[in-house]
Structure 1
Amino acid sequence: MTRPAIYLDHNAASPLLPEARSALLAGLDLVGNPSSVHGHGRALRNLIDTARGQVAGLAGAERKQVVFTGSATEAITQAIVGGAKAFASTAIVISAGEHAAVTKAAEATGLPVITIRLLSDGCIDLDQLAGVIATEEGNLLVALGWVNNETGVVQPMGRINALVGPTRHTLFVDAVQAFGKLDLAFASTAPDMMAISGHKIGAPAGVGALLVKAHADLVRLIPGGGQEQGRRGGTEAAALIAAFGAAAEAFPARYAAADVETLTAKLQAALPAEAVVFGGARLGNVINFAVPGVKSATAMMALDLLGLSVSSGSACSSGKVGPSHVLAAMGVAPELAECALRVSLGWSSTADDIDAFIAGYQSVLTRQRARQGQAA
């Protein structure tokens, strides 16, 4: 089976950066356990310490605030399940557009889950959030995504920080889609914890991190043998972590060089007049749109045959293609939502990729309209 020629699904996973590949292979050549005190162990520990500084640099965090995990989902679960226990939370607050990793972790706490609605532009209802914070008794754990993985909508994190930060409540931010594209400034802003991922910025899958402030240092999920300063047990995957660090260092320049915002604007300008673009203030690398009457499942299969890889939303549902809970929460009609396609760009995207998609999607529309004409 041949590999798709054009990859436009970076919100699912970004291709491996050359720098990350080199760091991964170099790490795989080392033998030992990072917790061992002999020379082999110290060499692996040095890899991890270097990567911790690289990841911290991109996240605007202190080195000691970075806890490496096996994935962003693990980091999210540690923050919510472990955080609810550590802070004696009485309820979890999420939005209606959260990734399944957040919603499932919230449910796993066994605590009441308060869901904040989305407005039609994809932003959370800040008035409802403010009301919940003002009236809810007990300790809330507020868990919100900064950038929506399906629509690219950027939540007003400054206003959320101002609402939650001065209170007694705990704020956790899913920053997976924001990491490397927005200034997280973790060390100097309100969130108590943030989750980030490696494979969204060109590192291999299988490594992520939880960023924690000092007062959240007792948040635990996997006790184990005291690795990661006692905050996450289990022998560290040093080669994966080294690749994560290398990606964090290399990604900003490569992402900037790709000029994805210009490419995304070019794609949007080429869409047919009847296309509906979902979301208001969006990150510049993604566009989620629908052409009425052209179902996403049909379009994705046709594009795949043309060597074009896009998606209809989250890739974290075992390959399922179904209705988007995010679009439903925004009030999008079901018949329009089932036509939604997500095109997401990244460090390897080029103008030729966009030209190929525009031509490919136009051919899909032409065939679809021809069939509809024949049926009529």
Structure 2
Amino acid sequence: MPVYLDHAATTPITGTALAAFTQHLSRSGNPSSLHGSGRRARIVVEESREKIAVAGGAHRSEIIFTSGGTEANNLAVKGLYWARRAADPARRRILCSSVEHHAVQDTVEWLASHEGADIVWLPVDAHGVVSIEALEHEIEADPGNVALVSVMWANNEVGAVQPIHDVVELAHRHGIPVHSDAVQAFGTIPVNFADSGLDTMAVSAHKIGGPVGVGALFVGRSVSLTPTQHGGGQERDVRSGTLDTAGIAAFAAAAEFAALNLTQEANRLVELRDSLIEAVQRAIPEAILRGPLEQGDYAKRLPGNAHFTFPGCEGDSLLFVLDMAGVESSTGSACTAGVPRPSHVLLAMGLTESEARGAQRFSLGHTSTSSDVDALVAVLPGAYASARKAGMAGHVSTIQTAGTISRAGNVSGTMRQGEK
């Protein structure tokens, strides 16, 4: 079995979530139907809504079910922008952190291209934390033309936890709504929608041990959103579409389990994360940790996130060598048509393109153990040496890179060592 160190991308479904999923998959009934099967499905949905609300510190009426984090982010950003612009056409400026996930970044760029939005990308420091000073400057320059602010709760690549409470306080002084992509944070670190003061917040099931294909948007009860799709009027007429009863039940089971075990699991992952960071730095002294870090703490960095740049090699090359050695990780960078590109997050943090190309993210989750860290460290030196032989392969396709790597050096011997 491979060593899985890509939990930030998706994490294995938990036993409680799988049990709930399979139980309700075998039952029929549309939650919008009025007959017995429909009413039973509706009860499951509403009980699940309550569990997710409790896990996220919200009222049950503030939960809008979606197909996942991407849809939730699209609904929030577009819905807030259209509603604010309809109330006042001057509100066209969107203040957005420069390290957002593409689900937010691309949505904002689409609004600029098609709906006349003006984007202000808020800078971040060298650790990936958004500048509160820059946000304050942009708001006070002209608060009347700001449609919304969007700052993620925690960054998916370098794990930086953002100062959400400060962001909300600044924006709300001028009546400006704030959205946060909390997909990486929810169920991993303490997240309380009510305490945060956020207007909208996106979460996803498959990041916390639920199934792929279901998520939610937390929407404050006084918040006005323009729907992005229309139909049967489900979910407060904000998100029409037949609800996925089985997926929602599994999502709720995963959320409830994560909330009950959050502190214990976060502390376990922090200890494991810190040991991984130390082990990688001993094995590869040239490796540079990216993102904030205070050992033993998850207030500034996600507990399961360890992100490095490895000088002299392409991140994709290192990924392929590690994969062949039985360790699955991620570069965190965008890859279009087989051409690796440097991460916009790392570039926003001030790295050069060459530095950003050497990125590798190791992310831990509920199935991770110390043996996973040992397996990584056993194969990493050989993998790094082989990836460096392949060089900065930005001008060859990932398929060609993989072929080059597979023929380089002593990878096969390294793989066998890691399999012990």
Q: Give the TM interval when normalised to the shorter protein.
A: over 0.9
Cross-structure match for 2:376: 357
Deviates more, 1:192-201 or 1:111-120: 111-120
Cα shift readout 1:178-217 (whole Å, capped 9, x = no counterpart): 1012222112332111001111001111001000111115
1:184: which partner in 2?
191
Measure the CA separation in 2 of the matches of 1:370 and 1:316: 21
Q: Which moved more, 1:210-219 or 1:299-308?
A: 210-219
Q: Which residue of 2 aligns with 1:82?
A: 79
Checking the alignment, whether the CA contact within 8 Å between 1:66 and 1:209 is kept in structure 2 is yes
**Rounded Cα–Cα distance in structure 2 between residues aligned with 1:186 and 1:219:** 21
For residue 94 of structure 2, give the secondary structure of its aligned residue in structure 1: strand
Matched, 1:94 2:103: no
Specify the alignment match of 2:4 in structure 1.
7
Q: CA deviation at 1:315?
A: 7.7
Q: Which residue of 1 aligns with 2:121?
A: 115
Instruction: Name the structure 2 match of 1:322.
Output: 341
Scaled by the length of structure 1, what TM-score is found?
0.93
Alignment partner, residue 60 of structure 1: 57
Partner of 1:128: 134
- In the alignment, the residues of structure 2 paired with residue 117 and residue 51 of structure 1 have an alpha-carbon distance, to the nearest angstrom, of 38
Residue 321 of structure 2 contacts residue 387 of structure 2 at CA under 8 Å; is this kept in 1? Answer: no
Which residue in the other structure is 2:108 paired with?
A: 106
Moved more, 341-350 or 292-301: 292-301
CA distance, structure 1, for counterparts of residue 249 and residue 223 of structure 2: 25
Q: Is residue 165–residue 191 contact of structure 1 (8 Å, CA) maintained in 2?
A: no
Number of equivalences:
370
Partner of 1:266: 275
Q: Which residue in 1 is equivalent to 2:23?
A: 26
Do 1:149 and 1:314's aligned partners in 2 also have CA atoms closer than 8 Å? no
Q: Which amino acid aligns with 1:329?
A: A
One of 161, 177, 183 as aligned partner of 1:154: 161
Alpha-carbon separation, structure 1, partners of 2:231 and 2:158: 38
Match of 2:316 among 292, 297, 309: 297
1:238 and 2:245 equivalent? Answer: yes
**CA–CA distance in structure 2, aligned partners of residues 238 and 318 of structure 1:** 36
Query: 3-state SS of the aligned residue for 2:236?
Result: helix
Q: Deviations over 1:259-304 (max 9, x none)?
A: 1111110111112222111112321210110221132111111111
Where structure 1 has 5 or more consecutive residues not aligned to the other structure, the ranges are none
Consecutive unaligned residues of structure 2, counting only runs of 5 or more, are 86-90, 293-299, 392-408, 410-420
Aligned to 2:207, the other structure's residue is in SS state coil
- Equivalent residue for 2:404? none
Which residue does the alignment assign to 2:364?
Answer: 345
1:151/1:317 CA distance change after superposition, 3 Å = farther
SS of match in other structure, 1:230 = coil
Q: Is the 8 A contact 2:333 2:344 kept in 1?
A: no
Structure 1 Cα separation of the partners of residues 135 and 126 of structure 2:
16
For 2:122, the aligned partner's letter is I
CA positional deviation for 1:252: 3.8
Q: Which amino acid aligns with 2:72?
A: A
Q: In the aligned structure 1, how far is the partner of 2:124 from the partner of 2:213?
A: 31
The answer to whether the 8 A contact 2:188-2:258 is kept is no
SS in 2 for 1:140: strand
Determine the structure 1 residue equivalent to 2:297: none
The alignment partner of 1:215 has SS state of: coil
- From the superposition, tell whether residues 97 and 232 of structure 1 become closer, same or farther in structure 2 (CA, over 3 Å): same
Cα displacement string for residues 85-111 of structure 1 (whole angstroms, at most 9, x for unaligned residues) = 112242211111111111121123221
Question: Would you say the 8 A contact 2:6–2:329 is kept in 1?
Answer: yes
Q: What TM-score comes out, normalization by structure 2 length?
A: 0.83
Instruction: For 1:194 and 1:128, locate their aligned partners in 2 and report how far apart those are by CA, in whole Å.
Output: 22
From 13, 20, 32, the counterpart of 1:16: 13
Letter in 2 for 1:70: S
User: Cα offset for 1:325?
Assistant: 0.6
Q: C-alpha displacement at 1:312, in angstroms?
A: 0.3
C-alpha contact (below 8 Å) 1:81/1:221 kept by paired residues: yes
Equivalence for 1:44: 41
1:249 and 2:256 matched: yes
Report which structure shows greater RCO (CA 8 Å, sep ≥6).
Answer: 1
Structure 1 equivalent of residue 208 of structure 2? 201
